[in-house]
């Protein structure tokens, strides 16, 4: 039997549900269900739906927590700081003028990025089968060592 260019090599047997990370993050970024790409991911600004209306995939057990705001602060902080420094080199403004310009830019860009970044994090968690998306309980794999009573 000869292998052709269209054959794909897989180790560990065929997996029944393929979850490409890039596609899942992209679907989440656009506010779509990472599983099917058709259903909506959010019912309000950053509140995710309980389950996808198109495919029925549960979304209520995701745990994005503080990771999306951390990513947004990192992105916006770098862009605004770089923009502030370039503006200050070209156009010398007073502190109040910079504040009047960069304050609203910072606020608007942080609000605009929050939902797409949270969707991308939910898509990442779905693709990696984290926090209940893989069908297993969200528990530590190993327990703590027994406590030493003499300590």
Q: What is the 3-state secondary structure (H, E, C) of 108-138?
A: HHHHHHHHHHHHHHHHHHHHCCCCCCCCCCC
Q: Which domain holds residue 39?
A: 21-128
Number of domains within the chain: 1
Let me know if residue 14 belongs to a domain: no
Let me know if residue 142 belongs to a domain: no
Let me know if residue 54 belongs to a domain: yes
Torsion angle of the four alpha carbons 38, 127, 66, 50, in this order, in degrees rounded to the nearest 10: 40
Let me know if residue 52 belongs to a domain: yes
Q: Is 70 helix (H, G, I), strand (E, B) or coil?
A: helix
Let me know if residue 3 belongs to a domain: no
Residue-wise pLDDT tens digits, 24-75: 999 999 999 999 999 999 999 999 999 999 998 889 888 888 999 999 999 9
Residue-wise pLDDT tens digits, 114-150: 999 999 999 999 998 887 777 666 666 667 777 888 8
Let me know if residue 57 belongs to a domain: yes
How many angstroms separate the CA atoms of 27 and 119, rounded?
Answer: 8
- φ, ψ dihedrals at 42, nearest 5°: -120, 140
Let me know if residue 96 belongs to a domain: yes
């Amino acid at each position: 039997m000869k292998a052709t260019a269209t054959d794909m090599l897989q180790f560990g047997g065929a997996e029944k549900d393929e979850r490409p990370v890039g596609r899942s993050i992209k679907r989440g970024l656009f506010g779509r269900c990472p599983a099917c790409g058709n259903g909506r991911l959010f019912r309000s600004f950053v509140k995710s739906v309980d389950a996808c209306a198109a495919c029925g995939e549960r979304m209520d057990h995701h745990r994005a927590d503080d990771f999306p705001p951390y990513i947004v602060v990192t992105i916006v902080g770098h862009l605004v700081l770089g923009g502030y420094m370039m503006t200050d080199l070209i156009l010398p403004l007073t502190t109040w003028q910079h504040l009047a310009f960069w304050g609203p830019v910072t606020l608007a860009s942080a609000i605009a990025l929050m939902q797409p970044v949270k969707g991308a994090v939910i898509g990442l968690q779905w693709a990696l089968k984290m926090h209940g998306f893989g069908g297993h309980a969200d528990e530590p794999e190993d327990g703590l060592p027994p406590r030493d009573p003499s300590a």
